[in-house]
Amino acid sequence: ASKDMTEGNFQRRLRMPRILELSNLIFYFNQMSEEIQTSRQQLADHARSLEQKVAERTRDLEEEIDRRGQAETALKVANYKLERLAYLDGLTQISNRRSFDERFLQEWKRARRNKTALSIVLCDVDYFKKYNDTYGHILGDECLCSIAQALASVVCRPSDCVARYGGEEFVMLLPDTDTAGAIKVAESVRSKVHGLEISHRTSEVSEFVTVSFGVASLIPTGTIPPEALLNRADRALYQAKQAGRDRVSM
């Protein structure tokens, strides 16, 4: 019976003999066997309970990890969208002034390092205030969006940047582009805007919406500040307006 017990068999019960001493021994032996069997059953139940709890906890942890992973992914997507929105003009959906300023400084440093030409083209919609007064701000917004798309369709190199500079002003940043190349781009945009044929009956230049352009180009050096190129483009734009608008000046 002891041998069976060590092998895990607790089913065997000893019959009580008529010898008193053996009867007492066998009684306690059978009682011990029952207690051991009961304890083993309790341990087995406890082990199963622990396994179930561990499995449930593991499942909970896996679900939590999955939820956190989904939350982190959603957060990254949201941050990307926010960052993208921070660099886009809300109306025209091209780059905004902040995006241009950062790109301009990057390209300025690169052009100075590589000793290559960097060009800026400032664009201003002619008599846009009169357009808004005549057609209303809703059509005015649509007009700006159309011009922004015209700019974006011409300036298509990855290194180029088209941005809304403010109000009815736009700017084109053209790395590795000399004056002749910048003028060619500006004239292409000017022609593209003409092709839109957006009616503007209060314009003093044309029956359609037109744009004036100021072009500036230079090879950056350590003695020239970045603002110098923007100031030159601004002066060129002023010259284009003084000369009658709807033209490119440099």
Residues assigned a catalytic role: 168
Which residue is it, tokens 């010259």? 239
| Number of residues assigned to the chain | 250
What helix, strand, coil percent values describe the chain, rounded to 5? 60, 15, 25
Between CA 112 and CA 110 the distance in angstroms is 5
| Tokens representing residue 9 in the block | 């068999």
Integer-rounded Cα Rg, in Å, for the chain is: 41
Taking the CA of residue 226 as centre, how many other CA atoms within 13 Å lie in the half-sphere pointing to its CB?
A: 14
How far apart, in whole angstroms, are the C-alpha atoms of residue 194 and residue 191? Answer: 5
